[in-house]
Amino acid sequence: MKKTELPIRHFFHTPGQDLEKSFAWKKVDCVIKDHQGQVYFEMEGVEAPEFWSQLAVDIAASKYFRKNGIPRTKSEVSIRQMVRRVSERVRTAGLKQKFFSSKKQADIFEKELRALLFSQRGLFNSPVWFNYGLHDAYGLKAESPCYWFNPKTKKIEMRDEALKHPQVSACFIQKIEDSLESIFELAKTEARLFKFGSGSGTNFSTLRSKHEKLEAGGTSSGLIAFLDVLDRGAGSVKSGGTTRRAAKMVILDVDHPEIEDFIQWKVREEKKARVLMEAGYGNDYEGEAYRTVSGQNANNSVRVSDDFMKAVEKKSDWALRARLTEKPLRQVPAEKIWNQISEAAWTCADPGLQFKDTINSWHTCPEAGPINASNPCSEYLFLDDSACNLASLNLLRFINRDGAFDAHGFVQAARVFFMAQEILVDDASYPTARIAQNSHDYRPLGLGIAGLGAFLMQKAIAYDSDEGRAWGAAIVALLTGTAYECSARMAAHQGPFPGFKKNKTAMLKVMARHQKALGSIGWSTLPEELQALTEEVWRQVITLGKRHGYRNAQATVMAPTGTIGLVMDSETTGVEPEFSLVKRKKLSGGGDLRIVATGFLKGLERLGYSLEQAQTMQLFVEMNGTLQGCPDLKPEHQKIFLTAMELTPEAHLRMMAALQPFVSGAISKTVNMPRESTVEDVSALYKRAWSLGLKAVAIYRDGSKGSQPLEAVKAAKSSRLPKGDVVPDAGLPKCFECGGPTELAGACFRCTNCGTVLGCA
């Protein structure tokens, strides 16, 4: 079959024009100070596009610039320099893979990618910026064993130089066997992943419990004993060499004999930490209290089946089964386990839930085995021993001057990023041969979005509204459709992923299911052009997929966009609503000002409020931290400006439910719950998530972490904070690196001062 041309064309740059000269550039001094005023990071004369905020430049320079080994300058000193090393390596790799039909096509693609990166329309996940292009651009090396697909031998091979084909995926899922060798092999592999800035998730249900016998006699040490060991290892490795904590997910099936101990694990450790804090030990994440207890370096999730959920409804018993024989060891009331889950989540925000049968009903490759686990934030759900590189598009950069959504620009950006991610798959290395093989054979990718909350607020649309959910669903449907259409075209060009043939029937059924879900979107509130474009894209997905197959087994996830969200100036993370109407604007050379969120002010303008009215409401927000109760805001507009903690938990769930049918993976999002929520509220929320068809869910109840030093701000007409004072955060932990305030980004805490992503929420 003759290869077809890929959809590579000029769009974001003008042919013949010097791309970088089309941007205005500035040089700024970067200073990040900790909560005591001491300099945490400093660099003078950093070059960046003129419109990038000081915070975006600070975070890019401190987190992503290579700090040593750079010829002449020792460190990278420019956004231009950082972007070039990545985009040029993508171009070079694409040519080697014969991805491009000509050097001219490769040049067009590279300029399109660079334009998107400079303009903050999108960004790759952090490991790309930590590792990619360092060998080509600067000749840097890193002696570390890794595995990659050798296109000449068509085999997975080991090499000792990790930067020639660097680790670029943020998300890994690893399998563990019921043996000491496998347990400690996992510890070694996790260390490699954390070293280069990635996260890992594992389902530990294969491990025998402390109630089961060993072949040599005696009983197993049990699940929790080994989880403690692995937790300590994760806590000691700096992720990517820049952030203190590694990202890790621990999952257990609900029929494991130690399920009750697992559910209570973090609850017990949290109690210990609180006792130590009361005795005078530090209450931050890096304080003596939390460093002394275990279980603090991972998100925990319980994997529940439809049968278990039905057993809870019927109040029947549930069997806990031996790992080797699968015979019941004992019967426990399902409702008892469920209540323990709800109470533990109420107490310390863990465990979250993953819905086994819902996840596998959307599985594109069931012939390769079931989906057992996820990455640390639960958005990547796929085969054991697999990896996924992420990228996210910043919705704020696709709002035209007239306020309209630039759907065609969004489609072009999605295509460019998705093709770049595809190139990365075989240009990267992996920590094990099995992960390298599965990455080559199934090629799962994770394209997503950032800034949904700010996007809706700028358009003066309530996050908790039918229109808001329609916009979210339509954008994600267009994203996933564009990705799979592009994947089908790449399959026509280079062949489908090797595992496609045996999974063809199942994958086409999933594609048809995605397409059918378009009928659930409230199109009547959206532009007709958006509906027509989305429906046409999905027609192409089905038509081209039947003809050529797909190059990638998965296409999209809704990631938390922790650090990259700050670098993109996306204002809000992932698909989260606005976290706060009061922001900190960093100034060149250090210091900051408190300002009102841009989305809020643009939303007021769109609603027709005068400049004078907007200024009055801005003052109200600066003094109260919220718009609720502001007499100048019309009652019918109050709902538009609700923030994450002001929205009901149901509002969070309904947005997730609107998006989920159009996502290959899942949604990394925290359902915020007020402090006064009850255990019964958590129970009802978890049941509601299952009934809505979500694949995974996690909650965060204000006040459920002992490391929270401050109460959430309560807006009241009688309360007034002097202008310029810092509004207390919503009861979230302080950053362990610089002591700055944090906000929830998906399932993690993100420092809004230095960009560090803390341990998991």
Closest CA to 289 of 676, 761, 709, 712: 709
Answer yes or no: are the C-beta atoms of 373 and 251 closer than 8 Å: yes
Q: Is 375 one of the catalytic residues?
A: yes
Could you say which DSSP state residue 22 is in? G
Under 8 Å between Cβ of 394 and 417:
no
Measure CA of the first residue to CA of the last residue in the chain; give whole Å: 50
Phi, psi of 399 (to 5 degrees): -100, 115
Which one, of 662, 645, 736, 300, lies nearest residue 478 by Cα? 662
Catalytic residue among 365, 377, 388, 751: 377
CB 521 within 8 A of CB 594: no
H or E, element range at 260:
helix 259-278
467 with 461: CB under 8 angstroms? yes
Are 481 and 667 a contacting pair, CB within 8 Å?
no
Distance CA 259, CA 265 (A): 10
Active site residue 377: yes
Helix, strand or coil, per DSSP, at residue 758: strand
**Residue 132 to residue 142: CA distance in whole angstroms:** 12
Report cis status (omega within 30 of 0) of the bond before 674: no
Helix axes 528-548, 407-427, angle to 10 degrees: 30
| 283, 299, 375, 624: the active-site residue | 375
Amino acid at residue number 533: L
Q: Which of 190, 269, 286, 379 is catalytic?
A: 379
Catalytic-residue membership of 379: yes
| Cβ proximity of 159 and 225 under 8 Å | no
Dihedral, CA of residue 77, residue 81, residue 83 and residue 84, to nearest 10: -170
Residue 45: which of 62, 27, 61 has the closest Cα?
A: 27
DSSP tag of 62 = I
Coil, strand or helix at 394? strand
Q: What DSSP assignment string belongs to 692-746?
A: TT-SEEEEEETT--TT--SPPP---TT--PPTTSPPPPSSPPPPTTT---EEEET
Q: What tokens does 335 get?
A: 């409702």
What's the Cα-to-Cα distance from 544 to each of 4, 540, 701, rounded to whole Å? Answer: 12, 6, 45
649-659 vs 679-691: helix crossing angle, rounded to 10: 20
Buried b (16+ CB within 10 A) or exposed e, 337-372: bbbbbbbbbbbbbbbbbbbbebbeebbbbbebeebb
- Mutual angle of helices 407-427 and 433-442, in 10-degree steps: 140
Round to whole Å and give the CA distance between 705 and 9. 50
Q: Which sequence positions are flagged as catalytic? A: 375, 377, 379
